[in-house]
Amino acid sequence: MSAFDVRDIMEAARPVAGYAAPQPGETGAVSRPKALSPLVLCGSVRMLEGAAILTIGAALYALMLHGHTQASAVYAAAILFVPLATVGLAQAAGAYRLQAMRAFGQSAIRALAAWTLTFLLLSAALVLAKFADQTSRLWLGTYYGVGLAALLGGRVALSRFVEAQTRAGRFDRRTAIVGGGAAGEALIAALEAQAETGISIVGVFDDRNDDRSTEFVAGYPKLGNVDDLVAYARTHRVDLIVFTIPITAETRILQMLAKLWVLPIDIRLSAHAAKLRLRPRSYSYLGSVPVLDVFDKPIADWDVVVKAVFDRCVALLALLALSPIMIAVALAVRFTSRGPVLFRQKRHGFNNELIEVYKFRSMYTDLCDATGDKMVTKGDRRVTPVGRFIRKTSLDELPQLFNVLKGDLSLVGPRPHALQSKAANMLFDQVVDGYFARHRVKPGITGWAQINGWRGETDTPEKLQRRVEHDLHYIENWSVLFDLQILLTTPFALLKTENAY
């Protein structure tokens, strides 16, 4: 975030009247289709084409020349050069832009040019280095032909895929405009005047009365005020929010951001009609429309892929390593009290979606609290003897590794709380301003708050406040190394059991 500070937003949240926080029963189910990241797609195509070209070269060498040539080092260098040069030249030619991949003609011409130029450069290098006589022309010609056929065939399939996904709107950034009037109309007109912005406007939201904000803005309906936008974004896919309000209206913007910053959505401030002119580098752009960055979605594009792969790989390894302990805990739960081994509980996940979290059952079946209405306290009679041990050691959380494999949880993130969790007899979101900002990322089995001692009972507002502060710090500073640090520290943090009952 660059234009406003989180502390300014949370301070502005206090005087805002009429803001209804999402209720525990709201599912926040995201409407389909889900978005595809053009950045991830283009990067994946680069890697797949490079790997395919490398494989073809190596396979042809093994089939045609292995054991029949002394110049294996020359061939190895050529096999490495071809994919690197092809991908580099195709990148320079714009072959990995989404617009080019959508149209087979453009894509094929650029791929053909990159492929042909690569072999011309390779041939020239072999001649200049005096390795031409040691290199099989049949292998070179076959590599060129087979590789070209594979590239063009792949581009046919790619163009059909991209076109189908484009028609489904999966590459569009579904955008809500905040603020109508002349400024809203000007922004919409500027966006629609461009052929390829990737922006799909879902509607306009404005807090002003109808006499100052019409029912339609540039043909798009006014769907409500900012409170309605929060509810809309919980049940529909929204990727981007753009304010058309002048930057000079700082108080009004801060009051709106106090409601919107809890959403996992990019938020921008339009500079299209602003009189203030900054250096071009100060802006980001929607096509050619300048905007100021206010909030970024915390984990997006390749970060999503990296975190998902990291989570699932580590979770699978952890399940294999911890399976004897999990079997022992399951048997202990099963044979020391009646009822199921696992306890399933609805909790809020990413963007307030309801998820079902698994735990080893630690309470007597007839005393289980599915909504978490009553906090577990020291000596709580609802907890079984085995349950008391597995809660103190957090062994009851191990089945959540299956939630990680399902994609409901991450290994590391803000802990998901029960729907009716309370501090000082008030729901968590009533105690801490911006509480739902924790849900801008997937919840986790462990987190920054937990390893810093903020686990277990949250019987006072101060304890909850500290937990939320640590969660927000994690979200704003996420990295794979940060996740790894938290995972490695967690076993030592579990030795401190004074707050776990």
Q: How far apart are CA 11 and CA 254, in angstroms?
A: 9
- The region that residue 374 occupies, defined by phi over 0 for left and psi between -120 and 50 for alpha, beta otherwise, is beta
Is residue 316 assigned to a domain?
yes
Return the bridge partners of 177, or none.
Answer: 204, 242
Q: Are residues 318 and 409 in the same domain?
A: yes
Domain-terminating residue out of 109, 141, 167: 167
Q: What is the pLDDT of residues 310-352, one digit of tens each?
A: 999 999 999 999 999 999 999 999 999 899 999 999 999 999 8
Q: Are residues 268 and 284 in the same domain?
A: yes
Task: Count structural domains, the chain.
Answer: 3
Q: Is 366 exposed, middle or buried (0-12, 13-18, 19+ CB in 10 A)?
A: exposed
Q: Are residues 186 and 145 in the same domain?
A: no
Q: Are residues 237 and 326 in the same domain?
A: no
Return the bridge partners of 355, or none.
Answer: 347
Tell me the average pLDDT across 478-490: 94
Q: Which of 312, 321, 333 is CA-nearest to residue 402? A: 312
Is residue 1 assigned to a domain?
no
Place of tokens 């991830």: 40
Q: Which pLDDT score, from 0 to 100, does residue 207 have?
A: 83
Tell me the average pLDDT across 280-305: 86
Contact 206, 232 (CB under 8 A): no
Is residue 190 assigned to a domain?
yes
Strand pairing category for 220-224 and 240-243? unpaired
Q: Are residues 354 and 432 in the same domain?
A: yes
Q: Which pLDDT score, from 0 to 100, does residue 274 have?
A: 60
Q: Which pLDDT score, from 0 to 100, does residue 96 have?
A: 93
What is the CATH classification number for the domain harbouring 181?
3.40.50.20
Q: How far apart are CA 437 and CA 445, in angstroms?
A: 18
Confidence grade of residue 92 (pLDDT, cut at 50, 70, 90): very high
Q: What is the pLDDT of residues 95-120, one digit of tens each?
A: 999 888 988 998 899 999 999 999 99
Is residue 217 assigned to a domain?
yes
Give me the amino acid identity at 128: L
Give this prediction's pTM: 0.82
Q: Which residue has the higher pLDDT, 137 or 8?
A: 137
Q: Are residues 192 and 277 in the same domain?
A: yes
Q: Which pLDDT score, from 0 to 100, does residue 386 have?
A: 92
Q: Are residues 400 and 460 in the same domain?
A: yes
Domain-terminating residue out of 130, 148, 167: 167
Is residue 498 assigned to a domain?
no
Q: Are residues 263 and 331 in the same domain?
A: no
Is residue 219 assigned to a domain?
yes
Concatenate the DSSP letters of all residues of 41-100 into one string: HHHHHHHHHHHHHHHHHHHHHHHHTTTS-S-HHHHHHHHHHHHHHHHHHHHHTTTTSHHH
Q: What is the pLDDT of residues 415-454, one digit of tens each?
A: 998 787 767 667 787 778 788 899 999 999 999 998 988 8
Return the bridge partners of 412, or none.
Answer: 446
Name the phi and psi angles at 372, rounded to 5: 70, 30
Q: Which pLDDT score, from 0 to 100, does residue 114 have?
A: 96
Q: Is the dihedral of CA 122, 125, 127, 129 positive or negative?
A: negative
Tell me the average pLDDT across 245-256: 82
Question: What's the mean pLDDT when you consider all of the chain?
Answer: 86
Q: Is the pLDDT score of 15 beyond 70? A: no
Helical ranges in 93-207 per DSSP H: 98-102, 104-128, 137-167, 181-192
Q: Are residues 290 and 308 in the same domain?
A: no
Is residue 501 assigned to a domain?
no
Tell me the average pLDDT across 9-20: 45
Q: Are residues 22 and 44 in the same domain?
A: no
Q: Are residues 382 and 274 in the same domain?
A: no
Is residue 499 assigned to a domain?
no
Sheet holding 216-217, edge to edge: 216-217, 220-224, 199-205, 173-178, 240-243, 266-270, 289-295, 284-286
Q: Are residues 103 and 133 in the same domain?
A: yes
Q: Which pLDDT score, from 0 to 100, does residue 497 have?
A: 60
Confidence grade of residue 30 (pLDDT, cut at 50, 70, 90): very low
Q: What is the pLDDT of residues 398-417, one digit of tens each?
A: 999 999 999 999 999 999 98
Q: How far apart are CA 101 and CA 42, in angstroms?
A: 9
Domain residues for 365? 302-493
Helical ranges in 237-384 per DSSP H: 250-260, 302-336
Domain-terminating residue out of 235, 269, 295: 295
Q: Which pLDDT score, from 0 to 100, does residue 434 have?
A: 81
Length of the chain, please?
Answer: 501
